Structure 1
Amino acid sequence: AVQANGHAAGVMVTASHNPKEYNGYKVYWGNGCQIIPPHDEGIASAIEANLALWERPSAEAVAAGEVPGVFDSLPSVADGYYAALADGLRFRGGGKSGAASPRAPLVAYTPLHGVGGPW
Structure 2
Amino acid sequence: MSEDIVDKLLNCHRKVRCVMLIGEDGKVIKYACKPNIEIILTKEELQRYAKQIAARKKERESWNEKMGAVECILTVREKLCILVFYWVNKIILLSIERLAPLAAVEKAIEVYTQHTKVG
Shared fold (TM-score greater than 0.5)? no
Whichever structure has more strand as a proportion of its residues is 2
The two structures have a TM-score, normalised by structure 2, of 0.33
Larger proportion of helix: 2
Instruction: Give the structure-1-normalised TM-score.
Output: 0.33
Quick check: which has more Rg, 1 or 2?
Answer: 1
